[in-house]
Chains A and B, each alone.
Chain A
Amino acid sequence: MDQTTLDSDAVSASLHTPAGFATIFDRHFDAVHAYLQRRVGPDLADELSAQTFLVAFDKRGGYDPSQPDARPWLFGIATNLVRRHHRDEVRQFRAYARSAEDPVLDAFDGVEARLDASEMRRELVDALAQVPVEELDALLLYAWAELSYPEIAGALDIPTGTVRSRLSRARGRIRAALDAGQSPALGQPIPEEGGSR
């Protein structure tokens, strides 16, 4: 793969020579798929990650050429698509919290369907099921897609300050839920910024 070109150059070039957009796919498909798979399981991830790149191709004219890395843009599209399935996502979190079996892990053949007896983890997913979707998007882009605050801002098209407040609220909710479960391991304060990685 030709890694010497920046994503922004490859996207711009694809406006003249659309075939070049395949390079964006080759670079980022697995990462986008991994993020979606973690959120909604492998089957829906297959569908949504394919859609992500179709939407990206159609909207490539609107790509901000000052952004060298296309990941925030792609994760933003993927997040918009997954939002339509938020109810399924919540249902899966709830099922996990109730039964200690993660439906996302169950969906894999060959991956041992582990019973997760950790009370703390069940409380975590129960809390995730109650986080409002805007906060959940910011939180999972941070924790799972490993985007920085400014990148999340770009992905969700919101100001960085809003990212900060959403993340802070989401983390506060989770901490409160875990504290209520009195898990002794959690006692650390929420970092003030955590800004760029």
Chain B
Amino acid sequence: MNEIDLLQELRAGLPGPRAESRASARGALIARIEESLRPPAPAAVPIWRRPRLRLGAALAALAALLVAVPTLILGGGGEVQPALGQVLRTAAAVAATQPAEPPPGPGQYFYTRSREAYLTTSFGPRCATHPCDREHATRAWSVLVPRIRQTWIAANGTGRARAVSTKPEFLTAGQRKAWKAAGSPHLGSGGVEDFALSGQPFLDTSNLPTEPRALRKLIEARKIPRVGGPPGEAETFTLIGDMLRDTYLPPAFRAALYRVVAELPKVKLLGEVKDPIDRKGIGVAFTKGSVTHELIFDPKTSALLGEREVAARRIPDLQVPAGTETGSVTYLESKVVNSLGKGAPPGAGHLRQSIGCYEKPSLHASAAVLHGPDPIATCTKLWREGVMGTTLKRLEREGKLPKRPDKIPNLVACEGDYPAVTYVFPGDGPSVCRRLGMRPTAGGEG
């Protein structure tokens, strides 16, 4: 017997990992994976413009899982409050008198700085390894991770986005304990994200009406390029917030947006409120389900100061009491600058073609986003490798990767609202693009 044999006998035959240890480790990995998936696919509105409604999404997902759709609590019937109309018409009048800002010229960027904090809810390891039903969802924790976000955007939509996250804030000490008990999985804090933006230009308002009724019709029909989303009045309110958030807007268009808000049913006037950094402003709100979305604007300039999401009632599944601030954005600064700032990532300021390979002919399907010269060939490779056709949920339910698809579907490449993105869907012809409100690319069928 030599020393290696002796060594191999030492501590040999120990039991394998405990099931709960394995589950906890897997849960931590899945949480990290989910976190990495958070930046939206290219079909979604760019993240620098629309860091919104994560709680709403989490709730929708939960509702689907629990098959217990939350009752919609919509306040106020269909009437517009007279005071609201007056306040917003005043805001519109102020907006119309604001000087038009010149667009960034060649080599210039529109710079913005904002602070955002969104509540992220995670579930303990049991939910990572079992279906997230009522029993398994109980050990959850919610944490606010504040981030300072800066963006530099050129007229052609190229630029840079940088976000620095700071110390996470747990809602309660108990939730902090649940997180610790789950092995302190990564919370997405303390990191710096710095990436190049490509092909995400400002809202082009040159062809849009400034007459409120016509504008409202376009918004409600989701006909404004890159300002799209699911149907519903709450989403309309959110989309207007998205547009107002864009500080680079002609004054007449800003004024029209305020007039549209004034006419929307179910919008509530909050009166004078403070934004998340204690600046005074006028608040308006829209409540859908468990979440109230507030917009706070400066009555003197009509500029949007901040936004806030508040739990309208207790949300037991997320362990969030009524009145909890579940998200906020504060707009701190905006100006035209002549450079991308220090330490810009490589490629920032240059157009780069992205390809979105979608699993299904829908912009809401899961997608892999990558770069490459030939969209169809790139996505075909993913399908051949068995990368497409997998979803996190299925993987989780079965505890394995699904088998490779027997057959690679026909693929169609489409052009949409973002010039730097080619969308590739499974489907049999250019009609797929048209059905999704897009155009087939030249030679885009595979």
Q: Do A and B come from one complex?
A: yes
Binds B, one of A22-30, A62-70, A79-87: A22-30
B395 to chain A: closest residue by CB: A19
Q: How far is the CA of A195 from the CA of B273 in the complex (A)?
A: 73
For the complex, what is the distance from the CA of A42 to the CA of B19, rounded to whole Å?
12
Most chain A beta-carbon contacts within 10 A, residue among B2, B15, B357, B388:
B2
Contact status A16-B387, CB under 8 Å: yes
Contacts of B386 on A, CB cut-off 8 Å? 5, 13
How many whole Å from B7's CB to the nearest CB in chain A? Answer: 4
Q: Is the CB of B16 within 8 A of A34?
A: yes
User: Cα distance A23–B394 when bound, in Å?
Assistant: 13
Chain B proximity of A79: nearest CB distance (Å): 16
Question: Do B33 and A37 have beta carbons less than 8 Å apart?
Answer: no
Q: Min CB distance, B371 to chain A, in Å?
A: 11
A88 within 8 A of B: no
B3 touching A171, Cβ below 8 Å: yes
Partner of A139, one of B7, B368, B396: B7
Question: Does residue A178 face the partner (Cβ distance < 8 Å to B)?
Answer: yes
Nearest-CB residue, chain B, relative to A38? B11
Asked whether A102 and B29 contact (CB < 8 A) given A16-B387, A33-B16, A33-B21, the answer is: no
**Do B26 and A121 touch (CB < 8 A)?**
no
CA distance A154 to B257 in the complex (A): 60
Pairs A–B under 8 Å by Cβ, sample size 22: A1-B400, A16-B357, A16-B382, A17-B388, A19-B392, A29-B22, A29-B25, A33-B22, A37-B17, A45-B17, A46-B24, A49-B25, A50-B29, A53-B25, A53-B29, A54-B29, A104-B14, A121-B6, A139-B7, A142-B4, A143-B4, A175-B3
Whether B305 sits at the interface, judged by CB under 8 Å, is: no
Q: Interface majority SS on A: helix, strand, loop or mixed?
A: helix
In A75-106, the 8 Å CB interface with B consists of 102, 104-105
- The closest CB in chain A to the CB of B402 belongs to A2
Q: Taking the nearest CB of chain A, how far is it from the CB of B395, in angstroms?
A: 5
Bound Cα distance from A2 to B400, whole angstroms: 7
Closest chain A CB from B56 CB (angstroms): 23
What are the residues of chain A within 8 A of B1 when measuring CB–CB? 185-186
> Bound state CA distance, A104 and B12, in angstroms?
11
**Does B101 lie at the interface of the complex (its beta carbon under 8 Å from any beta carbon of A)?**
no
Among A26, A29, A104, A185, point to the contact of B17 (Cβ < 8 A): A29
Most chain A beta carbons < 10 A, residue from B4, B16, B400: B4
Distance from B422 Cβ to chain A, minimum over Cβ atoms (Å):
15
Given known A34-B16, A121-B10, A125-B10, contact A20–B26 (CB-CB < 8 A) = no
Which residue of B is nearest A24, CB measured?
B29
Residues of B within 8 A of A108 (CB): 14-15
A111 within 8 A of B: yes
Whether B430 is near chain A, meaning CB under 8 Å from some CB there, is: no
* B32 within 8 A of partner (CB): yes
Q: Do the beta carbons of B26 and A102 come within 8 Å of each other?
A: no
Which B-chain residue is minimally distant from A120 (CB atoms)? Answer: B6
Q: Is B96 positioned at the interface, with any CB of A under 8 Å from its CB?
A: no
Question: Is B183 positioned at the interface, with any CB of A under 8 Å from its CB?
Answer: yes
Which single residue of chain A is at the shortest CB-CB distance from B16?
A30
Q: Is B272 in contact with chain A by the CB < 8 A criterion?
A: no
- How distant is the Cα of A178 from the Cα of B390 in the complex, in angstroms? 55
| Complex contact A16–B17 (CB within 8 A) | no
Question: Which chain B residues lie closer than 8 Å to A140 at the CB level?
Answer: 7
Interface residues of B in 39-55 (CB under 8 A from A): none
With A19-B33, A143-B7 in contact, do A13 and B385 touch (Cβ < 8 Å)?
A: yes
Q: Report the minimal beta-carbon distance from B183 to chain A, rounded to whole angstroms.
A: 6
Kindly list chain A residues whose C-beta atoms are within 8 Å of the C-beta of B26: 22, 25, 29
Contact status A17-B30, CB under 8 Å: no
- In the bound complex, how far is the Cα of B7 from the Cα of A17, in angstroms? 41
